[in-house]
Amino acid sequence: MPDESQEKPRRSRKVTSLKVAREQPDARVVSLCQELLARARRGELVSIAIAMQTQGAGTATSFEMGEGDTAHLVLAIERLKLRLLGY
């Protein structure tokens, strides 16, 4: 009879992929995106920067300078940062 202390540990199953449960879109996020798209189509937006949180606490950013300038877009980002932090 083999000594129990020398038995090989059992291998557990390996996880090869995870399936994230899809949640319903947040109506407020969809509404803001639609509003911004409408403003862009009317020609009101000359540059844009976007910071996003994705499902699973991921983050993403994107920007398009268009006809705008870096200084104004960075100023808008700083103002947004202060708003998010509650100042």
13 or 69, greater pLDDT: 69
More confident residue, 20 or 61: 61
Q: In this structure, is residue 76 part of a structural domain?
A: yes
39 domain-assigned:
no
pLDDT surpasses 80 at 37: yes
Answering whether pTM is above 0.85, one says no
The pLDDT, as a whole number, for residue 17 is 62
Q: Is residue 32 part of a domain?
A: no
84 is a domain residue:
yes
Within-domain flag for 31: no
**Interatomic CA distance for residues 48 and 68, integer angstroms:** 8
Structure token digits, residue 9:
């540990």
Domain assignment present for residue 35? The answer is no
In a domain, 27, yes or no: no
N- to C-terminal Cα distance for the chain? 72
**How many domains is the chain built from?**
1
22 belongs to a structural domain:
no
- For residue 74, what are the domain limits? 46-87
**pLDDT over 70 (residue 61):** yes
